[in-house]
Each structure stands twice: as structure tokens, then as C-alpha cells.
Amino acid sequence: MKIGLPTYFFESLESTNVYAAQLVAQKPVAEGTVIDTAYQTNGHGQKDRIWDSPEGQNITSSVILRPHWLKIQDQFLLNVMTSMAIVDTLQFWMDQSIKVKWPNDVYVNDKKISGILIQSGIQGSTLQYSIIGIGLNVLQNKWPSEVKNPTSIVLNTSDDIDLNEVKSMLFEQLEKHYQTIQKDASKLLDRYRGSLYKKDEETVFYIQGKSVKGTVRAVDDFGRLIVDTSDGPRLFEVGEISFSK
């Protein structure tokens, strides 16, 4: 299996995740197939948000995986391998420390550089397919004012950046970390825990609409966030807690 073989590239597409989902519903698709586009007319973000990215400047791609071997309760490992593939790709071009903002964002100095949208198909107790959607800001240097704290690779390096080079490295890292989680995920999980945004720093969260102070300590083996609060350590599922900014 090679991530990026084949790659279906489109000048423009509604959303690479939507196209990938239509493809897997229609016919058998090889693991590692990538859907890539220069421009999405209706890119999807987390929580029904839109993901807007100007033509030809950033990575907007979806990788189709078939992780039949992965238990459903361990599917968080797909977030881990994707986040760390992005971190390792970025670390090649920049010295700044790259953080994983649980559960789906990658940050540089309090600014968002990448977002992940994973959509899986489950049959019985098996993961039939997972679509790993990645938006990674590479060349963009201007955003509409409503976009909160964005950044990109070009804004963090003085090197000349080639979009296709970044893409190839990202797919290489994804392939490597996908192999890792099939063997033994423990070291990668440790690195992921060590890269958590705001780890060991008191910060403000929203929990059930209320702002609450707390400190991120770790993520458990099921992907729940462990936060120290004034009530002691608490575990949060995705959607139960968010960073205030």
C-alpha cells in the first residue's frame, strides 16, 4: 500500500471528503487512494463549519484507508497518526514548536495551521474505511477577518516552499505512522501526549456552556482528554469540552 497511489486530482471539487465517501460507496477503492484538489467549493470543517481555502495555495486532500484491523474503540489512533504526520512534516520546515490542539487541530504559536476531518464507515464491529481529510495551510498569507488566528508554513519560515513537496512529505509521514500504529502505537502515543497544546498550563475551557479553568495533562488510550480542574482530574470525550480560544 502506498499513500498517494493512485491520486485523483481535480482542479476544483465540492469537498475531497465528500468525493472520497461517494467513491467508496460506489466501488472497491484501493487503500492509500488520495483525492486531491486545488480548490473546494464547499470544504467541510469540524462541527458543520466550512473550510475555505484559496485556490492552489494549501493542501486540501483526503486519504482513503481501510483499517479493518483496528478495533473501533481504538479508532482515535487514526487522529494520533494523522496529527503526528502533520507535526513531523511541519517540523521539517520550521523550528517553532508544533502542537496538537486536541482533538483535531495543529497549532504553531497559538495559531491554527491545520485541521483534520476523519469520517469512517463502520459495519458491525469493523472499520470498513476511514477518510482522512486534511486541510494544511502552506502558502496562504491573508485571511478574511472572521478566521480566528490562522497561520501557514510560509509565515513561519524563510525557505522557498513548494506545495507539492510538502504534500509528498505529508503522504510519506502518513504512510510511516500508519504502519507504526499497526505494530505498536505506544511511542507515537507518547509523542502525541507530549505535543498537546497547553499541556501543563492553566487555561480556560468551555464545559456545557460554562467557562471553567483547567490544565490539560494527557489523553487516555481511548482519546479522552484528561484535564485537572478544581474538582480534580476529569475525562472528556470529543465535544464535551472546548478551548475558550
Task: Name the residues that contact ligand BTN, by CB under 6 A.
Answer: 15-17, 40, 43-46, 49, 51, 60-62, 104-105, 115-117, 133-135
Which residue, 159, 111, 132, 11, is CA-closest to 61? 132
Instruction: Choose between 47 and 232: whose C-beta lies nearer to ligand BTN.
Output: 47
3-state secondary structure of 170: helix
The least distance separating ligand BTN from the CB of residue 184, rounded to whole angstroms, comes to 28
Put residue 140 in one of left, alpha, beta given phi > 0 → left and psi -120 to 50 → alpha.
beta
Instruction: Choose between 109 and 186: whose C-beta lies nearer to ligand BTN.
Output: 109
Cα 210 to Cα 100, 214, 241, 243, distances in angstroms: 23, 12, 10, 11
- 20 contacts 120 by C-beta, under 8 angstroms: no
The least distance separating ligand BTN from the CB of residue 229, rounded to whole angstroms, comes to 25
Which grid cell is 12?
476544483
Buried/exposed 136-172: b ≥16 CB within 10 Å, e otherwise: bbbbbeebeeeeeeebbbbebeeeeeebeebbebbbb
| Paired strand residues for 117 | 133
Which grid cell is 122?
463502520
Instruction: Choose between 61 and 180: whose C-beta lies nearer to ligand BTN.
Output: 61
Instruction: Choose between 59 and 219: whose C-beta lies nearer to ligand BTN.
Output: 59
Instruction: Choose between 32 and 135: whose C-beta lies nearer to ligand BTN.
Output: 135
Residue sitting closest to ligand BTN (CB): 115
Instruction: Choose between 22 and 182: whose C-beta lies nearer to ligand BTN.
Output: 22
Residues 6+ positions from 182 with CB-CB distance below 8 Å: 69
Instruction: Choose between 143 and 234: whose C-beta lies nearer to ligand BTN.
Output: 143
- 60 contacts 19 by C-beta, under 8 angstroms: no
CA 90/CA 36 separation, integer angstroms = 19
